[in-house]
Chains A and B, each alone.
Chain A
């Protein structure tokens, strides 16, 4: 009887030891994450699908919000223009116009805004008898000029940049930085 009880105690002791050994050591910790989400929209310029055909010059850095557009060299006499991707035309009796189209894409995130309005502004006052336009809307360097009131997000909106130069303008480089502003409606 005593011998049996001794065996029982021994077995229980061994089992308790095995239980302790099987318990893996763990350590826990908590990382608290905080943030605040803000609505945002973005604007990028893209090459039009018709790029490199007349009226659609390629942009440098297409797909970004800071691109370049080279309209080449042009003159009034003889409808002279060096670029093969611009549209060249005489406007009235004394002006010529060089133009090229590109696309504007505005995307949205975390906003219920259904559409956006688009405006543009040139950086400096152009020389006399030089006019910068987008889709026939004359641009100013003193205020943004409205182009569209309700464009759809995520869709490419084709815009045409035009430069009109009178035949009295002396030889010079005409350069502008044109800022496009999209505002959520």
Chain B
């Protein structure tokens, strides 16, 4: 085999090798897209939080909390977090503090109005007050300029008649339960 023939054969072999490498680089590919959607709704929420100076709430941090004053009396001891600011001949007041936190999202609102009402008429001998607003079964404003995303303390006071049971006073030695509805409305 002549030198010329050998050169030609080497050239052919190199060409074949390059062709094979090129064929290997062309693997099949596939592509896709995800069409994602999120519906962002506006809204407002209200939860009750335990205030450090008040009674520890049951289910604190939720919108369905409970607050137990324990046993109350005009002259006897009171539960932790309950105070008795006044005692008169006709009634006495027991008070505690709870927090309300309202959050909003997607609203063009800088503040909210808080209202409250008793779910049912108050038991005999009782008057319920939130921040000195006497509650009824009709909604009444407690605060008209609440700040969002902040625990705002409110006083819950029970004015209790000193009268005896059956004479205008409350039932004695019987657990009493009352539900207060709170509503926050974006301003």
Contacts and interface: CB of A to CB of B under 8 A. Distances in A.
B172 interface: yes
A123 to B, nearest CB: 23
A30 B172 contact: no
Contacts of A107: 74-75, 89
A2 interface: no
A22 interface: no
Contacts of B186: 24-26
B173 to A, nearest CB: 6
B182 A31 contact: yes
Interface string A26-62: 1111111111111111100000000000000000000
B9 interface: no
Contacts of A26: 44, 183-186
A143 B172 CA distance: 31
Which of B68, B74, B174 has its CB near the most chain A CB atoms (within 10 A)? Answer: B74
Interface in A95-141: 107-112
Interface stretch (B17-25, B27-35, B162-170): B162-170
B100 to A, nearest CB: 8
Given A25-B109, A110-B165, A111-B164, A34 B185 contact: no
B121 interface: no
Interface string B61-86: 01111111111111110000000000
A72 interface: no
Interface in B107-164: 107, 109, 119, 125, 128, 156, 158, 160-164
11 contacts: A25-B44, A30-B179, A33-B178, A34-B66, A34-B67, A35-B176, A37-B72, A40-B74, A110-B162, A110-B172, A111-B164
